[in-house]
Amino acid sequence: MHSPRLTSILPLLLAATLLPAQKLPHATGTIHTPDVDLGFETFGLQGSATPVIAVNGGPGLSHAYMLQNSVWQRIAADRLVIFYDQRGTGASKRLSPAAPQTMPAQIADLEAVREHFHLARAAFVGDSFGGLIVTAYAAAHPEHVASLVLSDAASPSIQGIVHLLPQTFPDVEEQDDHEEKSLAATLDAAAQAGLRNHFRMIFYSPAKRDAYMSHMGDLGYVPAVAEAVSKATDALDLSSALPTFRFPTLVLNGRYDMNVAPLTAWRLAHAIPNAKIVFFEESGHLPSYEEPDRYVAVLQQFLNAH
């Protein structure tokens, strides 16, 4: 989700009935690297099905926003699903003083996660800004990519995102401006208010928006990380890598996503050879939350085929 004030592409969320926790294997842990201790969380068990590494959006958010419902627990019913917090967020805040926030650093962290779980290949799912991270990883390490899923994902360059929130929600943008100015003396409070206001604009259904926001709690937004990552990736352009991708790719997008408009997904799918594209007709930026059953069905069908 990209807002001029947040300089971030906020991620994606999910919804459905939670499975009983005791029936699904669940674990957390830490992966030590020279730059950062990466916190991870897993659901399910590694078996014959291709494991999934899910990369959240932001930047500056932990993966907690992706676990607002049971979509990923349902995906993990027959495979291992791995989440991790990007450096400087959530359970990955133990950074070395000089640790960078560049895309090569993000790629190195994702590679450390893959190596930790001894996965020769995995399905990499990138939500929103996480789509840019998995695209960069796939360009650097295609040999480890069994398949790629780009869900309401950033384009291969931040500058190429079709972002329509200011044109669609001028009233909310104006309210956001006033609120942030009133909180300007407390930068973190202003950033958190901006985050909540941003979420007000990324849903198709007002009822689902209100339901999500009523229970979303603290999503672990770290403004300083968001700013550092945004600055480090602002000029990045991976467009030339897309035609070289030879692994199965699925592009997903909410039809009414004004944050990363469907044209972004359309261009991605047409730049990657043989990519499949699916639009969710009753969703904004969060189809996994607004249309969870269809999201699970589409994703499972793709993962099971590859």
State pLDDT tens for residues 59-101: 999 999 899 999 999 999 999 999 999 999 999 999 998 999 9
Q: In this structure, are residues 68 and 13 in contact, taking their beta carbons and an 8 Å threshold? A: yes
Q: Considering the entire predicted model, what is its pTM?
A: 0.89
**Cis peptide before 11, with omega less than 30 degrees from 0?**
no
3-state DSSP helix/strand/coil % of the chain, to nearest 5: 45, 15, 40
Of residues 198 and 114, more confidently modeled: 114
Is 105 contained in some domain?
yes
How does residue 186 score in pLDDT terms, banded at 50, 70 and 90?
A: low
Structure tokens at 125: 């799912």
Backbone angles phi, psi at 243, to 5 degrees: -65, -15
Q: Which long-range contacts (CB under 8 A, 24 or more apart) does 137-140 make?
A: 137/106, 137/107, 137/110, 137/111, 138/241, 138/245, 138/247, 139/238, 139/241, 139/244, 139/245, 140/107
Q: In this structure, are residues 136 and 155 in contact, taking their beta carbons and an 8 Å threshold? A: no
Is 229 contained in some domain?
yes
Q: In 3-state terms, what secondary structure has residue 84?
A: strand
Is 191 contained in some domain?
no
For 174-188, 191-205, 236-250, which range has the lowest pLDDT when averaged over its residues? Answer: 174-188
Is 236 contained in some domain?
yes
Is 287 contained in some domain?
yes
Percent of the chain with pLDDT strictly greater than 90: 74
* E-state strands within 204-294: 249-254, 276-280
Is 106 contained in some domain?
yes
Is 227 contained in some domain?
yes
Q: What is the pLDDT of residue 20?
A: 42
Q: In this structure, are residues 130 and 56 in contact, taking their beta carbons and an 8 Å threshold? A: yes
CATH number for the domain that contains residue 123: 3.40.50.1820
Q: Residue holding tokens 């944050």? A: 259
Q: How many domains does the chain have?
A: 1
Residue 18 has pLDDT above 60, yes or no: no
* Whole-angstrom Cα Rg for the chain: 18
Is 150 contained in some domain?
yes
| Residue numbers of the domain that contains 258 | 2-164+203-305
pLDDT tens digits for 279-303? 999 999 999 999 999 999 999 999 9
